[in-house]
């Protein structure tokens, strides 16, 4: 198995969602050193790879029944379950090792994201709130980076800005996932996945996506108002598209959001 196959298995491009918020959390906490940023990056990549790997393992049978996902490595049989678990172990070591190199509190709290990652694939079998749980998983990115730099959570220095950013990530990722889940409505109904679009249909889903925008925009304004305006314009412009064009640009617009905010934060 080569690096290209590993990157495809864990959807390495999805790391682009969390990385800018990792750096935003770090810079909100203070003035991180290059060494701190390196170990934060190691832990973040480990966390993202572990999350995707666990999701692929737990959902392998569901993926096999969905025409859109049936070609995935485990669903199609192109990768063994043992290999997938080995990759997850490597990513777990990256997460825990990075946390250990940063500070004792990071190491102590490192099981929290692992537990959150395990819960998510099972949660979507029981409730449409899974989209917001997924948002909560990614909201750990800025919060974790903040702890990585400060090494403490006892003071109120994280309030309110870090709280706003983390809640914004929850709403932003949930809205993104609602748009993405519309591709799988019929499959979700067949396999028993309780996605919001499968439970409430596209018109209600679109309404919730629209209502989420002012919430995450207001939350992210503590980072960069100009960045928020640019990101909103990108996301709104995609809503007029349909079919595969919508899904492709919906992904790109949301991937861009964090990086636009990070650049705006640095420029200001």
CATH of the domain at 27: 1.10.357.140
Res 1: pLDDT: 61
Element (H, E) at 87: helix 81-102
CA of residue 231 relative to chain centroid, distance:
17
64-115 confidence digits (pLDDT tens): 999 888 988 898 888 999 999 999 999 999 999 999 999 999 999 999 999 9
b vs e for 154-172, b when ≥16 Cβ sit within 10 Å of the residue's Cβ? eeeebeeebebbbbbbbbb
Structure tokens, 148? 């990585």
Q: Which residues contact 236 (CB under 8 A, 6 or more apart)?
A: 213
Taking residue 193's Cβ as centre, other Cβ atoms within 10 Å add up to 23
208-258 confidence digits (pLDDT tens): 999 999 999 999 999 999 999 999 999 999 988 877 788 888 988 999 999
Cα separation, 228 vs 219, in Å, equals: 9
113-152 confidence digits (pLDDT tens): 999 999 999 999 999 999 999 999 999 999 999 999 999 9
186-203 confidence digits (pLDDT tens): 999 999 999 999 999 899
| Structural domain of 190 | 3-267
pLDDT band of residue 2 (cuts 50, 70, 90) is: low
Q: Which of 162, 47, 149 is nearest to 94 (CA)?
A: 47
Cα separation, 174 vs 180, in Å, equals: 10
Q: What are phi and psi of 177, to 5 degrees?
A: -65, -35
Res 154: pLDDT: 82
Are 141 and 22 a contacting pair, CB within 8 Å?
A: yes
Q: pTM of the entire structure?
A: 0.93
Are 126 and 198 a contacting pair, CB within 8 Å?
A: no
What is the C-alpha radius of gyration for the chain, rounded to an integer number of angstroms?
Answer: 18
- Indicate the number of domains in the chain: 1
What is the average per-residue pLDDT within 41-63? 94
């Amino acid at each position: 198995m080569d690096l290209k196959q590993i990157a495809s298995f864990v959807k390495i491009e999805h790391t682009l969602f969390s990385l800018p918020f990792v750096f935003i959390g770090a810079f909100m906490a203070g003035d991180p050193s290059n060494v701190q940023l390196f170990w934060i990056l190691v832990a973040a990549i480990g966390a993202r790879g572990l999350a995707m790997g666990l999701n692929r393992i737990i959902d392998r049978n569901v993926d096999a029944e969905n025409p859109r996902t049936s070609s995935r490595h485990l669903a199609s049989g192109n990768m063994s379950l043992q290999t997938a678990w080995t990759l997850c172990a490597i990513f777990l070591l990256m997460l825990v090792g990075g946390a250990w190199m940063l500070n004792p509190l990071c190491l102590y709290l490192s099981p929290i994201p692992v537990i959150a990652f395990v819960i998510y694939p099972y949660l979507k079998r029981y409730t449409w709130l899974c989209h917001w749980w997924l948002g909560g998983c990614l909201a750990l990115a800025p919060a974790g980076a903040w702890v990585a730099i400060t090494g403490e959570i006892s003071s109120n220095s994280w309030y309110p800005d870090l709280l706003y950013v983390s809640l914004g990530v929850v709403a932003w990722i949930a809205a993104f996932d609602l748009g993405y889940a519309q591709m799988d409505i019929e499959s979700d109904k067949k396999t028993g996945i309780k996605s919001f679009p499968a439970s409430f249909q596209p018109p209600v889903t679109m309404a919730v996506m629209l209502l989420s925008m002012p919430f995450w925009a207001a939350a992210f304004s503590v980072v960069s108002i100009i960045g928020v305006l640019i990101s909103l314009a990108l996301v709104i412009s995609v809503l007029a598209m349909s079919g595969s064009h919508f899904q492709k640009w919906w992904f790109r617009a949301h991937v861009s959001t964090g990086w636009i905010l990070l650049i705006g934060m640095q420029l200001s």
